[in-house]
Structure 1
Amino acid sequence: MEWLLYVSAAIVAVAFALLVVFIITTLKALKQTMESVSKTVEDLQGQVDGITKESNSLLHKTNALADDLQRKSDSLNSVFSAAQDLGLTFQTLNHSVKRVSDSVSQQADERSEQVAKAVQWGNAALTLWTKYKVRKDTKTAQTGYRQAK
């Protein structure tokens, strides 16, 4: 029976040795996995740092661009204000011209009969003047012809 005790102790020792071998193998694989994870995390940290720097740079450029855009927008406000004032001035001028035009048109309509009469009188006066001048020239020509004889 004593040998049974030795055999059992040997089996326990072999089982313990196998258990230790499997644990060592598992721990080595776990160590490699952890080293790979550590390397991946370090690479990822480097990439995150690079992305952070680029993001900060992009944010600063965006802020500078927004400030520049705001300044230019503020300077354009005066241009738009002046354009609005100019538009109002043109609108006022157009209203004034329209009123004057309406007034002139109304007065022309009211005086169109008087103008027509004045034109008729002018034509009559011009006709009389022409006839007078023709008679005078005819008399002068006849008198000059008689004196030449």
Structure 2
Amino acid sequence: MENLLYVSVAIVAVAFAVLVYYLIKTLIAMRITLDNVSSTVEGLQQQVDTITKESTELLHKTNLLADDIQRKSDSLNSIFSAAKDLGESVQRINYSVKRVSEAVSKKADEQSEQVAQAVKWGNVALQFWEKWQAKKDERNKKENSESF
């Protein structure tokens, strides 16, 4: 029975040695994997730092650009306001010119008959004057011819 005890202890010792061997092999593989993970995380950390720095710079430039656009937009607002005021002034002038034109046209229509009458009376007066002038010239000729 003692032999059985020695064989059992030997089997347990061999099993323990095999267990320790595979445990060491597993721990070494795990250490290699953790080293790889560590280097990957370090690389990712560097990339994240770079991206963070570039994002900060990009955000700063974007803010500057937005401020510049806002300033230019504000300056354009006064131009558009002035253009609007100018357009309204031109509209008022056009409306005034239209009203004056309509008033003149209406007055001209109302007075066209009076103007026609005045032209007729003017023609009649001109004819009388021409006839009077012609008679006057004839009398002067007669008087001049009698005096010779």
State whether TM-score is above 0.5.
yes
Once residues 119 and 55 of structure 2 are traced to their aligned partners in structure 1, the CA distance between those partners, rounded to angstroms, is 87
Give unpaired runs (5+ residues) of structure 2: 135-148
Residue 68 (structure 1) aligns with: 68
| TM-score scaled by length of structure 1 | 0.80
Query: 1:81 is matched by which residue type in structure 2?
Result: S
Residue 8 (structure 1) aligns with: 8
Residue 54 (structure 2) aligns with: 54
Would you say 1:27 and 2:22 are equivalent positions?
Answer: no
Q: What does 1:97-116 align with in structure 2 at a 5 Å threshold?
A: 97-116=97-116
3-state DSSP of counterpart to 1:86: helix
Q: What's the CA shift string for 1:55-107, capped at 9, x where partnerless?
A: 00000000000111111111111111111111111111111111101100110
Which segment is superposed worse, 56-65 or 113-122? 113-122
Query: 1:75 is matched by which residue type in structure 2?
Result: S
Query: 2:113 is matched by which residue type in structure 1?
Result: E
Once residues 106 and 39 of structure 1 are traced to their aligned partners in structure 2, the CA distance between those partners, rounded to angstroms, is 96
Once residues 130 and 51 of structure 2 are traced to their aligned partners in structure 1, the CA distance between those partners, rounded to angstroms, is 102
Q: What's the CA shift string for 1:83-132, capped at 9, x where partnerless?
A: 11111111111111111011001101101112233444556677788899
Aligned Cα root-mean-square deviation (Å): 2.7
Once residues 131 and 39 of structure 2 are traced to their aligned partners in structure 1, the CA distance between those partners, rounded to angstroms, is 123
Query: 2:15 is matched by which residue type in structure 1?
Result: A
Residue 143 (structure 1) aligns with: none
Once residues 17 and 130 of structure 2 are traced to their aligned partners in structure 1, the CA distance between those partners, rounded to angstroms, is 150
- How much has 1:21 moved relative to structure 2? 0.8
Work out the number of aligned pairs and report it. Answer: 138
Q: What does 1:107-126 align with in structure 2 at a 5 Å threshold?
A: 107-121=107-121
Structure 2 CA distance for partners of 1:24 and 1:128, relative to 1, 3 Å: farther
| TM-score scaled by length of structure 2 | 0.80
Query: 1:94 is matched by which residue type in structure 2?
Result: N
Which segment is superposed worse, 68-77 or 117-126? 117-126
Structure 2 CA distance for partners of 1:91 and 1:11, relative to 1, 3 Å: same
